[in-house]
Structure 1
Amino acid sequence: MGNYRIFNNVQKHITLNDVEKQYFESLLKVERIAKKELILKQGQICKKIYFVELGSLRAFNTNEDGKESTIMFAFQNWWITDMSCFVNQKQALLSIEALEDSQVVGLDGNALEALFDKIPKFERFFRILFQNAYIREQQRALHYISLTTEERYRKFINKYPGIADKVTQKQIASYLGVTPEFLSTVKRK
């Protein structure tokens, strides 16, 4: 059985015996991703949810004018996908890019359904995961409408220390919904 971080992540919420771990591992696909490589391209059918074993990624949308808006970052021990499109097996609204050389563990939709059937306690795990993601996004939306850009930037940096070493100012600005120039002004204050 591989020594993947994903097992520690799962066991924060459910306990697996050795047989369950082996079955779970049999469904996982390890992928190594080079910096700037896309594991999901906007417009493709979103077939997998990913767990970040090593490295960091970002999910972003590109509008018709070519402007990128970063929707989320995912660091080691985080999960990432285009959730709406993954659940509905639709064309992705997001692209997911490696911010550095990374390793992810992918789980496709059919494997996830098989996992739910064979080991029902995984439904509990993913329910908790999805609830936490929903809460995080709700808080982000509330911060966007109630805090200044400077306050949002400070909260972001405090929540993700060391992030500036992995992402560009342009990516942080797109996550915060401002221009890189405006973010520079905020950072100088």
Structure 2
Amino acid sequence: MYTLLIQHLSKHISLTNEEIILLTAAFKPKRLKKKEFLLHQGEVSRQETFVTQGCLRAFSVNDKGEEHIAQFAVEDWWVGDMYSFLTGAPSRLYIEALEDCQLLQIDRPGLEDLYLRVPKMERFFRIIIQNAFIASQNRVLSSMSQTADERYLDFIRKYPNIEQRVPLYQIAAYLGITPEFLSRIRKKFQGK
């Protein structure tokens, strides 16, 4: 279960065997069944979560009951409400398992302790937070400047395996379009 996490970290930092032992002691395994929630809106996000198996979605619900999906998370990805985790404010997100999931979690005190005991972990989290910020900024800009067709093509190019794992109405919610409009877009590109 920890192998994928170690491989993931190794993309940005190199760890000694001693550091790997400290790291695996700091992360706790968690399992979720399909449709279980990792986080509810209004709760404080107490953990950062790494996905070792399964698929989740992070979403909000507006006053009209419409869902807006902020993120999908599959193996080798992180999921959580970083704002809530860092500030202690109530989460604005729900995080739900779309499949049975195996996760590794670390809480804020554990992460702070890990930063002290394995200082290169601060570098790692700085890199992934920078990458998340860039991805978020690119998503905002594409939602303002790209057509729905372009957003869909960009989505399937960046995340080729997700389309087979999640319902199309959720992809539509991620793209900010109706499921019917997504169906028309998909038909347009089938066979091309």
TM-score by length of 1: 0.95
Segments ≥4 residues shifted beyond 3 Å = none
Q: CA deviation at 1:185?
A: 2.0
- Counterpart Cα distance in 2 of 1:32 and 1:3: 14
Residue 23 (1) aligns with residue 22 (2):
yes
**Contact 2:53–2:101 under 8 Å retained in 1:** yes
Gaps of at least 5 residues in structure 1 are none
- Counterpart Cα distance in 2 of 1:162 and 1:51: 18
- Counterpart Cα distance in 1 of 2:54 and 2:89: 27
Residue identity opposite 1:8 in structure 2: Q
Residue identity opposite 1:76 in structure 2: E
- Counterpart Cα distance in 1 of 2:163 and 2:126: 31
Query: Kindly tell me: are residues 30 and 125 of structure 1, through their superposed partners in 2, closer, same or farther at Cα, counting changes over 3 Å?
Result: same
- Counterpart Cα distance in 1 of 2:164 and 2:185: 18
Q: CA deviation at 1:3?
A: 4.3
Partner of 1:93, secondary structure, is coil
Residue identity opposite 1:134 in structure 2: F
Residue identity opposite 2:107 in structure 1: D
- Counterpart Cα distance in 1 of 2:2 and 2:50: 14
CA distances 1:126-172 after superposition (whole Å, capped 9, x unpaired): 00000111111111111111110011001101211132221111111
Residue 140 (1) aligns with residue 139 (2):
yes
> Matched residues, percent identical?
44
Q: Matched residue pairs, number?
A: 188
Residue 93 (1) aligns with residue 92 (2):
yes
In structure 2, the residue matched to 1:43 is 42
Matched ranges for 1:71-90 at <5 A? 71-90=70-89
- Counterpart Cα distance in 1 of 2:12 and 2:140: 26
- Counterpart Cα distance in 1 of 2:48 and 2:147: 33
- Counterpart Cα distance in 2 of 1:19 and 1:164: 39
- Counterpart Cα distance in 2 of 1:54 and 1:180: 27
- Counterpart Cα distance in 2 of 1:52 and 1:95: 16
In structure 2, the residue matched to 1:14 is 13
Partner of 1:76, secondary structure, is coil
TM-score by length of 2: 0.94
Residue 54 (1) aligns with residue 53 (2):
yes
Partner of 2:163, secondary structure, is helix
Residue identity opposite 1:111 in structure 2: G
Superposed CA RMSD: 1.2
- Counterpart Cα distance in 2 of 1:130 and 1:142: 18
